[in-house]
Structure 1
Amino acid sequence: MTATMFGPFPRRQAPIVLAGAFLLAGAAHAQSPAPFTSEHSARGVVYNMTFGPPIGAPQDGYGMGIADIDGDDDLDLVFLGRPDGLVGVYENNGLGVFVNRSAASGVAISPSGAGVALFDYDRDGDLDLLVAQRYHPTRLYRNVGGLAFADVSAGAGLGFTAPVTGVSVADFDGDGWPDLHLCVYSTEVPDKLLRNLGDGTFEDVAAAAGVASLGLGYQSVWSDHDRDSWPDLCVSNDRGVGNVPNQLWRNDGGSFIDVSAPTGADVSLCSMGIACGDLNGDARPDYYFTNLPDPEPPLFGVNPLLLSAAKGPFTRGEAEWGVSNLRMSWGAVFWDFDNDSDLDLYVNNEFQPNALFRNPGTPPMADIGVSMGVAGSANLSFASATGDLDGDGDLDLVINNYGGPVRLLMNQEGSRRNWIRLRVAGEGRVRDAVGASATLVAVGPKGEERAPQWREVLFGGNTYLAQNDPTLHFGLGDATAVASIEVRWPAGGAVRTISSLAINARWTVHHPSRLGDVDGDGAVGSLDWAQFAQWGLGPLQPGREMLDFDGNGALGAEDVDAFWQRASFARGDLDESGSVDAGDLAQMLGSWGSKGSHADLDLDGSVGAGDLAILLGAWGG
């Protein structure tokens, strides 16, 4: 786990708040949320969406992406939709201010851009870019560093022309390589399931997998509907009445079974965006679909909310939760904007103000979009995405609008309520564990355990044509500590339980296979031990989490023992000669009394008698 602490804009170093510490008064939980502020111009983002789209461009919105593209621990931005087709690429300077890198990005003009995906298709440690287009070739760009990309579409088996809309990413077959689902808005050309072959190429296996839908697909999302650790596929289809309704396929270890009808997912409507998340707190994904405001059957003008159940079909919950939203709506996203530990809902509406439904913990939710400054005017608003752009501990909101600029709506909740953020890394050197999940239990100011929060690592979906920052964000309200976090890797992968993490911090949770391997070279060797010795024991600090073998939020004797059980050389073999001998003794004596030396075998802070005893005890080994 790698942790980074951020302060408000401009960034300042913030202290780590250890488990059990008390940061915010309990009254903070009862505070009304602070309104958002519109700051796109002040933060360097000037990207105007076209009104009356150019020839051959879609009439139903353009996508965007929020992610750490350049690996410097802050969030960068990608936008589609300018009249000239220029793809907007903006680099975060670390202070939440953005530098326009569009002209030199290497991304081609995309006049009919639709969905965006930012994912590490080649597993080289950085995020690559997929730009879907309705009337032009869909293209894949490899990240070559410095916010620059190289077009690899032809060699990768993409570059085809089809009316592609929404995009989502998952490792559906559990082979460790991220795959793609592309929605195709056509009754003649099926949706595409592009399996990553691991050699830089993809093959379309939609027909063989049984998911080659001929619905008018707008957006898909991969989510573990049945909680078996395999990503299931949900697709939102337009014009479901008379065509193909919405669909849900259960993933049975890499093969798919259509469970749309028995689960009740096959709602027929003019379905567009999908919000996906655990709204009611039962550790299962719920789905919210956007719709047209037709008051007549069969559409009934509502946005259906499908609440998952452990057994049996979905329960319709839009009326109970107050989110029917009788408006023409497109994008929708579940997010905890007020850091109070439950998910809220933002909805993009066309010709009417957007809606922000705040979750009080129990239904119904109330639309507070106007008072929060996020409703906008009655314009063409299609897509939105969320992420902590300024690193202050809350989720900000980015919205695209026809006929106006992209808007950056900055959240002011980070200093008012507690939070914690997790990036779940994949196995080995895989950057992100796409499809992993985490269950967090927080501790209140009186020591009481709070209700669990469950989140999934989603790349695409929980929005429309866009990608949110895939980092897992947990609002904690007035909770003062984390009791436990259970992380599950996808496809029947590993499970880790972590406790006592500092709150108000960002952490990266590493797969068990990475533990001890500080430098990420695939082995636990002398350089890793040298780093361990330099850091020493004590409370967990940023960048040291791969040494916390027992996951207790501190580096201790148990972690030292676990390190040596995994190490590729014997304890005391300081020169890695294959045995503990005079050469190692000479190194130790030469380091006698020094601090932070790799000869400090007991990690007591200096090289001394205890280390000599360990070395002599291992002599000849």
Structure 2
Amino acid sequence: ENAAIPLHLDVISASGGAITEDFDNDGFIDIVTSSWFLDDQLHYFHNNGDGTFTEQTEAANLNGITGGLNLIHADYNNDGFRDIFILRGGWWNDYGKLPNSLLRNNGDGTFSDVTKSSGLFSLYPTQTAVFADFNNDGWLDIFVGNETRRNTEKYPCELFISNADGTFSEQAQKAGVNLPVFAKGVVAGDYDNDGWMDIAISSQGQDNFLLKNVTGEKGKPVQFKDVSKQAGIVGPVKSFPLTFLDYNNDGWEDLIIFTYDAGVSDYDNAAYLLQQPLKGEVSVLYKNNGDGTFSNLSGTSGIEVPMAAMGFNYGDVNNDGWIDLYVGTGTPEYTSLVPNKMFLNNNGSDFKDITTAGGFGHLQKGHGIGFADLDNDGDQDIYEDMGGGYQGAAFQGACYLNPGNDNAWITLMLVGTTANKDAIGARVKIVASLPDGTERSIYQTVRTGGSFGSGSMQLETGLGKAASVKEVTIQWPGGATAVYTGLPVNTYVKIEEGKAEWSKVDHSTIEWQLAPAAEMDHSMHNMH
């Protein structure tokens, strides 16, 4: 059910980002949205915990913070409060020489722009970046994928390494990642299970990149090596959103790269329905072989559907323990009407298109997507920015409330101490016990999801028909490993690095207050 209107989340925006996260640590997930035009205001919606949201943009000191095609978030300074990074200038070539913005969460309900003082000020066009601890020092770094196109200046990618004091030093050239590519998506993950975070880049119109972290030892300068060709992930050429994820629960991070080709999108959508040959490329699921290489599963994965993918994130919408995919679609043209797509994971074998059956086929142009359990009932809801690239294509966002299911679940809230506070990059193995006495393993990594949208970092994990959790094994960033046993199902659990015991967190479930249409006041919900 799309409840954006009755929940007063129906802010009208153009193409933009979305974050679903608890910014004030009150136990309820809030929502932040952006819109890429420079006169479009950022919006912050506070989850009141009583079935309503209240826009608190002004109270949060965010008035005048505008623009942003994409948003990411993390606790960059390890103070226990999640911060926001706004990305600007993507698609605009030389006109996109705009600063990004780092908004520090002050912990009192307000944010402060610390872009310059943190060392992040630059004037390169971008829409994609990722937080990760690339040197395993316990502080999050930032990799920014900038956009260099033919006949433009060169805008190389940037790598900002944390100085462990709230500031950053740019070290892309030293690390070997100052690539002049047309980066449309960047993600971080440990694809080879060596304990060091690697980087994948989708580069529109060019080969994609897999950059292996070869730093090897704490205290050494960060170094990367291009292993794209050896790994076998250079295509597709017309790439856009991507992600690392373990789709088949084998303990190895796989890679999905979706395609975007505005030139043939409308033709291919019709051709696909008519079962005619396609002109463009299809999206690719790369299965990790566990030996440094990937297998291209095109033709068998189920995601080979023309859709002009832009926004993307993932979660487990039916709590069966298998990761599902939601894709925001469309091109800037008004005539381009492509349903947003939901793909249900079929027990790790392939994906099934459940767009129509699940009610996810919104025809507006989907961009930033965030998965999160907005009402603390154990299943994941979804917020999505639905605006297009033109002023006339602005549209209200969508908020899909999950109707629930009978499957078990557990939400793990990890807190780093030696590792970064958010535990971004932590690898988690959950062994669940089934009623018939058998066991199954589910693998998760702490991150905000795919490259276009920023979801909650608490591990909202479906367990299927599990009766209990036998054990949880956590490999913390930096190498420490811990095992916990006896965890209950259908509850929130907090695990702090270095502590031998887990603790149960009591989160009250929300009953949504869905106002009748006649009572709705939309006076505040505009682009500016």
Which among 450, 472, 480 is matched to residue 462 of structure 1? 450
Please give the per-residue CA displacement for 1:318-367, whole angstroms capped at 9, x wherever unaligned.
Answer: 32121111221112323211001111121222121011111221534221
**Residue 244 of structure 2: aligned partner:** 276
Is the Cα–Cα contact under 8 Å of residues 276 and 334 in structure 1 kept in the other structure?
no
**Distance (whole Å) between structure 1 residues aligned to residue 132 and residue 308 of structure 2:** 30
Which among 436, 446, 463 is matched to residue 476 of structure 1? 463
Q: Mind listing any 5+ residue stretches in structure 2 that lack a counterpart?
A: 90-95, 217-221, 269-275, 331-336, 388-393, 507-528
**Distance (whole Å) between structure 2 residues aligned to residue 158 and residue 312 of structure 1:** 33
**Residue 373 of structure 2: aligned partner:** 388
Aligned residue type for 2:400: L
**Distance (whole Å) between structure 1 residues aligned to residue 310 and residue 180 of structure 2:** 21
Which among 200, 225, 237 is matched to residue 191 of structure 2? 225
Whether 1:126 and 2:115 are equivalent positions in the alignment is no
Please give the per-residue CA displacement for 1:492-532, whole angstroms capped at 9, x wherever unaligned.
Answer: x21111111011111121111x458xxxxxxxxxxxxxxxx
Within a 5 Å distance, the mapping from 1:106-255 to structure 2 comes to: 106-107=61-62, 109-134=64-89, 135=96, 136-187=98-149, 188-240=154-206, 245-252=207-214, 253=216, 254-255=222-223
**Distance (whole Å) between structure 1 residues aligned to residue 470 and residue 358 of structure 2:** 32
**Residue 265 of structure 1: aligned partner:** 233
Whether 1:303 and 2:283 are equivalent positions in the alignment is yes
Question: What SS does the aligned partner of 2:299 have?
Answer: helix
**Residue 373 of structure 1: aligned partner:** 359
Aligned residue type for 2:380: L
Whether 1:418 and 2:408 are equivalent positions in the alignment is yes
**Residue 29 of structure 2: aligned partner:** 75
Whether 1:406 and 2:397 are equivalent positions in the alignment is yes
Whether 1:433 and 2:423 are equivalent positions in the alignment is yes
Is the Cα–Cα contact under 8 Å of residues 80 and 110 in structure 1 kept in the other structure?
no
State the shift of 1:420 in Å.
Answer: 0.5
Aligned residue type for 1:76: D
Within a 5 Å distance, the mapping from 1:11-50 to structure 2 comes to: 37-50=1-14
**Residue 286 of structure 1: aligned partner:** 254
State the shift of 1:297 in Å.
Answer: 12
**Distance (whole Å) between structure 2 residues aligned to residue 89 and residue 362 of structure 1:** 36
Which shows bigger deviation, 381-390 or 357-366?
Answer: 357-366
TM-score, scaled to structure 1: 0.71
**Distance (whole Å) between structure 2 residues aligned to residue 103 and residue 161 of structure 1:** 27
**Residue 448 of structure 1: aligned partner:** 438
**Distance (whole Å) between structure 2 residues aligned to residue 427 and residue 299 of structure 1:** 51
Alignment CA distance shift 1:122-1:312 (3 Å): closer
Structure (1 or 2) with the larger CA radius of gyration? 1
Structure 1 runs (4+) greater than 4 angstroms displaced: 293-300
Please give the per-residue CA displacement for 1:425-459, whole angstroms capped at 9, x wherever unaligned.
Answer: 11259531111010111111122212x11110114
Which among 470, 473, 480 is matched to residue 486 of structure 1? 473
**Residue 45 of structure 2: aligned partner:** 90
**Distance (whole Å) between structure 2 residues aligned to residue 131 and residue 108 of structure 1:** 14
Is the Cα–Cα contact under 8 Å of residues 268 and 299 in structure 1 kept in the other structure?
no
**Distance (whole Å) between structure 2 residues aligned to residue 155 and residue 375 of structure 1:** 43
State the shift of 1:102 in Å.
Answer: 0.9
Is the Cα–Cα contact under 8 Å of residues 381 and 399 in structure 1 kept in the other structure?
yes
Question: What SS does the aligned partner of 2:259 have?
Answer: coil
Is the Cα–Cα contact under 8 Å of residues 36 and 88 in structure 2 kept in the other structure?
no
Question: What SS does the aligned partner of 1:167 have?
Answer: strand
Alignment CA distance shift 1:428-1:363 (3 Å): closer
Is the Cα–Cα contact under 8 Å of residues 337 and 344 in structure 1 kept in the other structure?
yes
**Residue 513 of structure 2: aligned partner:** none
**Distance (whole Å) between structure 1 residues aligned to residue 196 and residue 278 of structure 2:** 33
Question: What SS does the aligned partner of 1:371 have?
Answer: helix
Whether 1:354 and 2:340 are equivalent positions in the alignment is yes
Is the Cα–Cα contact under 8 Å of residues 203 and 240 in structure 2 kept in the other structure?
yes
Alignment CA distance shift 1:540-1:427 (3 Å): closer
Identity, in percent, stands at: 27
**Distance (whole Å) between structure 2 residues aligned to residue 227 and residue 95 of structure 1:** 42
Is the Cα–Cα contact under 8 Å of residues 442 and 476 in structure 1 kept in the other structure?
yes
Alignment CA distance shift 1:335-1:210 (3 Å): same
Alignment CA distance shift 1:82-1:202 (3 Å): closer
State the shift of 1:300 in Å.
Answer: 4.2
**Distance (whole Å) between structure 2 residues aligned to residue 455 and residue 299 of structure 1:** 36
Q: Which has the higher strand share?
A: 2
Please give the per-residue CA displacement for 1:440-482, whole angstroms capped at 9, x wherever unaligned.
Answer: 11111122212x11110114x5141x21111112211111101
Please give the per-residue CA displacement for 1:347-400, whole angstroms capped at 9, x wherever unaligned.
Answer: 2221210111112215342211112111112x3222311111111101111111
Question: What SS does the aligned partner of 1:208 have?
Answer: helix
**Residue 14 of structure 1: aligned partner:** none
Is the Cα–Cα contact under 8 Å of residues 188 and 244 in structure 2 kept in the other structure?
no
Is the Cα–Cα contact under 8 Å of residues 183 and 204 in structure 2 kept in the other structure?
yes
Is the Cα–Cα contact under 8 Å of residues 171 and 178 in structure 1 kept in the other structure?
yes
Is the Cα–Cα contact under 8 Å of residues 84 and 104 in structure 2 kept in the other structure?
yes
State the shift of 1:289 in Å.
Answer: 1.3
TM-score, scaled to structure 2: 0.83
**Distance (whole Å) between structure 1 residues aligned to residue 400 and residue 371 of structure 2:** 10
Please give the per-residue CA displacement for 1:220-267, whole angstroms capped at 9, x wherever unaligned.
Answer: 111110011211111111111xxxx11111112342111111001221
**Distance (whole Å) between structure 2 residues aligned to residue 318 and residue 418 of structure 1:** 32
State the shift of 1:268 in Å.
Answer: 4.2
Alignment CA distance shift 1:137-1:362 (3 Å): closer
Alignment CA distance shift 1:230-1:406 (3 Å): same
**Residue 578 of structure 1: aligned partner:** none
State the shift of 1:111 in Å.
Answer: 4.3
Is the Cα–Cα contact under 8 Å of residues 47 and 82 in structure 1 kept in the other structure?
no
Is the Cα–Cα contact under 8 Å of residues 434 and 468 in structure 2 kept in the other structure?
yes
